[in-house]
Structure formats: C-alpha cells, structure tokens
Amino acid sequence: QVQLKESGGGSVQSGGSLRLSCALSGYSGYIYSNYYCMGWFRQPPGKEREGVATIKGDGSTLYTDSVKGRFTVSRDNAKTTLNLQMNSLKPEDTALYYCAVDENIHCSGSFSPRVYDRWGQGTQVTVSS
C-alpha cells in the first residue's frame, strides 16, 4: 500500500521560511521512481485545492506563478522524499498543504488535483502578517 505523509508545517511570520517534506512508502519499482509525477498542492480556508509545484520523473519542475522565485520543490536521491522549501512566505500562503502522486507514466506535472491518484493527509501552514 503506497502511503504519503507530510511533515514540516507550522506557524511563521510574514517573510519567514518553512520546509515541508513528504515521505513516500510502500512502493516499489523502477517505473514508480522514475516516471511518475509528484506535486505539492494547497487548500486555503474556504477555497479550492490548487497546485503549487510539481516534479516529473526526469526531475523537471513546474511552479504556479504566485510562488515562483520563493518556493523550491525537490526530491532526495532515493526519490522517497519530496520536499518544498518555502521562503519569503506571505499571509496568502496560509493553507493546508498536501503532497500527491500521479501514477501515469505519461504524466505532465499537471496542477489539476483530479489527475493525482494518491494523497497525503496534509500539513497546515499559517503565515501571520
């Protein structure tokens, strides 16, 4: 059973930094590690879930415009942990953050939550002004 577990959320002041991690377990296989896409999503209070940053099997990354230059998505060499370094945080970054996996070997790193197959339970990020 593939499982994802986020950690690293918390409360910071505007301009601060946080690093989120997502541990991937229960999977096996060369294809899963090298062809599937992983992503970070967030859901602000009262709003829909939105894509923040994604990474493809080849290591290429995509960012939504509002976080470009501030957030960095990365994977460890074993590809078992997905990270999101968040700098220069703003109050509008406040949300429940999720990691997710798209198990399509032709995945594109989409920001649409609907194409992702597996999700963690989320970790809360709160940024105060």
Q: Over the stretch 87-113, which tens digit does the pLDDT of each residue have?
A: 999 999 999 999 999 999 899 999 999
Give 106's contacts (C-beta < 8 A, 6+ positions apart).
none
Q: Look-up: residue for tokens 């942990």?
A: 81
pLDDT at 31 over 70: no
Q: Are 43 and 59 in contact (CB under 8 A)?
A: no
**Which pLDDT value is given to residue 32?**
65
> Largest Cα–Cα distance in the chain?
45
- Consecutive H or E run containing 100: strand 95-102
pLDDT over 90 for what percent of the chain?
A: 80
Neighbours of 30 (CB within 10 A): 7
pLDDT at 129 over 80: yes
* CA angle centred on 127, ends 37 and 38, rounded to 5°: 5
Could you tell me the two tokens for 30?
């060369």
